[in-house]
Amino acid sequence: MARLGTARWLAIIGPRKVGKSSLILELARRTQDIAIVAVDTHETSPPSLEVFRNCAMRTVDVLLGREIGVSLEVAAAAGGGIDALVDGNDAIARLPADLLTLIRALPETPMTDQFARQCLDLPERLAELLGRRLVVAVDEFQELAEAGRSVADPLKLIRSVWQRHRRVAYVVSGSGRTLLEEMVTQEHSPFFQHFAVMYVEPFARADAVALLMAAGPAGRHIPLPVAERAVDAIGGHPFYLQILGESLTSRQPPYDEVTLKLALQETLFSATGRLALYLQSVFDRAVGRSQHLAAALNALADGPARMTAVAARIRVSTAEVARYLQRLGDVVEKRADGAWALQDPVLGLWLRWRRPGGSAVPMSVIGDAAERDVAGWLARAGFDLVYQSRGSRGAFELLATRGSRQIGVQVKRSALPLRFPARVWQRMAADAERFGWLWLIAAVAPDGEVTFLDPARARRGKERRLGEAAIVDSVLAWLDRQR
């Protein structure tokens, strides 16, 4: 539409990190005849109408940067002023006097109604003078609704200026779905019927699997079964898949379920994991210092629930819950059946993992039935658990920690008695000694009953055998006896 000189506007709505900005960058990469100016309201903290100034200066850089040779925006940010760059520059000297005066004034003029209007109008004026077509993209556009009111009504001001433009098309995007939808679709909004709306959602399962398989570097291909298990675990959010895929392929191939367990442990179920740190920031931004908001989020971590159920879980009235859910904004959503849910299921996984006893959550996501049973038992007993790589860290599948005590746990999916070849037994004993761990064998019967066995009570021979005589009645009591 920008090529045709039609003033069409597009609103891109989707969750955080789903790829809205990437769409704009890809458009800029593929488009040669139309200039792209991208700004983000979060470039100023807190978000403010200074984004108008940023957009104006970036427009000058995009349309005249080649002739000027340096960035006016960078020069202004460095505090040196831009007069020296403007004076004597042929590209700028050809501009009308009033436009040249505006460019000179961009770094320091206070943001008034008049100056905001001039900044908003600069892209159209400059594009028209230079015979160019332009797309201005504003990310997290919904923040302008609550930005500092140095002008009377910023949304009406934006509309009044933009609607006269013919050489500039506007793309706005944001993760504040409810507010942005209201801004561009509600009848009372200044932008009613001005924007076409495009929703960007996490990938469907097949597309997410294809992305994970295609994204690996040369020689480090993620097999289809591993990619499918990964998507089943964390869904189709491309940012999450990118982080998990990078963790997977940072290891040497081949990749299997054990590698996937370790990658999930490293990225999501770790205090310093990249996904965990991102979700921590989402959580902090949503709840601030409010324990009530945190409690409401945690109440929804187990799955969708009606408002009355949330109220019962956190022991407040439904009226209070309604206020909490409203304050949580787009982190939660109301479903068609009336229940409330977390907008991001992976946030729910992370919240469950952070709870007391939540160390068994990783095994519930990707572990087999035996691992889930053992992990659940140990978590209820107050142990923290992590997966261990048999390839690089040793012979044990799980490491259980309680205080400073560490226990390597080998999970055996069998009823008693258990038999171990001598070489397997020797490797477990050697790894336990090497890492300074205690160690136990966990036998999981077909009915799911978990029995812990003391390796010190194994019967020796060509193989090691563990029967009823090796049963540990109380793991905590056994742990206290170990010195």
Helix (H, G, I), strand (E, B) or coil at 14: coil
Q: What average pLDDT does the segment 281-291 reach?
A: 92
pLDDT of residue 237: 93
Q: Reply yes or no on whether the pLDDT at 388 is more than 70.
A: no
Please state whether beta strands 398-402 and 195-199 pair in parallel, antiparallel, or not at all (unpaired). unpaired
Q: pLDDT band for position 154 (50/70/90)? A: confident
Averaged over 128-149, what is the pLDDT?
83
pLDDT in tens, 26-63: 776 777 778 889 888 888 777 788 888 889 989 988 88
Q: Tell me, what DSSP letter sits at residue 254?
A: P
Cβ burial 361-388 (10 Å sphere, 16+ → b, else e): bbbbbbbeebbbbbbbbbbeeebbbbbb
149, pLDDT greater than 60: no
pLDDT at res. 51: 87
C-alpha span between 221 and 217 (Å, rounded): 7
Phi then psi for 33, rounded to 5 degrees? -90, -10
Q: Residue 390 CA to chain centroid, in angstroms? A: 29
Mean pLDDT across 72-99: 73
Say how many Å lie between the first and final Cα of the chain, rounded: 76
Instruction: Please give the helix or strand (H or E) that residue 195 lies within, else none.
Output: strand 195-199
Q: What is the mean pLDDT of the chain?
A: 85
Phi, psi angles (nearest 5°) of residue 317 = -80, 160
Interatomic CA distance for residues 193 and 215, integer angstroms? 39
For residue 205, what are its two tokens?
Answer: 């399962």
What is the band of 391 on the pLDDT scale with cuts at 50, 70, 90? Answer: very low
Where do the DSSP E strands lie in 64-167? 133-139
Q: Indicate the burial class of 311 (C-beta count within 10 angstroms; 0-12, 13-18, 19 or more).
A: buried
For residue range 409-429, list pLDDT tens digits in order.
998 888 888 999 988 899 889
Q: Is 221 exposed, middle or buried (0-12, 13-18, 19+ CB in 10 A)?
A: middle
User: H-helix or E-strand containing 406?
Assistant: strand 405-412
Q: How far apart are CA 412 and CA 452, in angstroms?
A: 10
pTM of the model: 0.78
pLDDT band for position 393 (cuts 50, 70, 90): very low
How far out from the chain centre does Cα 131 lie? 40
Q: Would you say 209 and 174 are in contact if contact means Cβ atoms under 8 Å apart?
A: no
Q: What is the largest CA-CA distance in the chain?
A: 97
Q: 18 — phi, psi (to 5°)?
A: -85, -10
Q: What is the mean pLDDT of residues 109-113?
A: 86
* Rounded mean pLDDT, 197-202: 87
Which amino acid type is present at position 52? F
Element of type H or E holding 83: helix 83-86
Strand 168-174 versus strand 9-13 pairing type: parallel
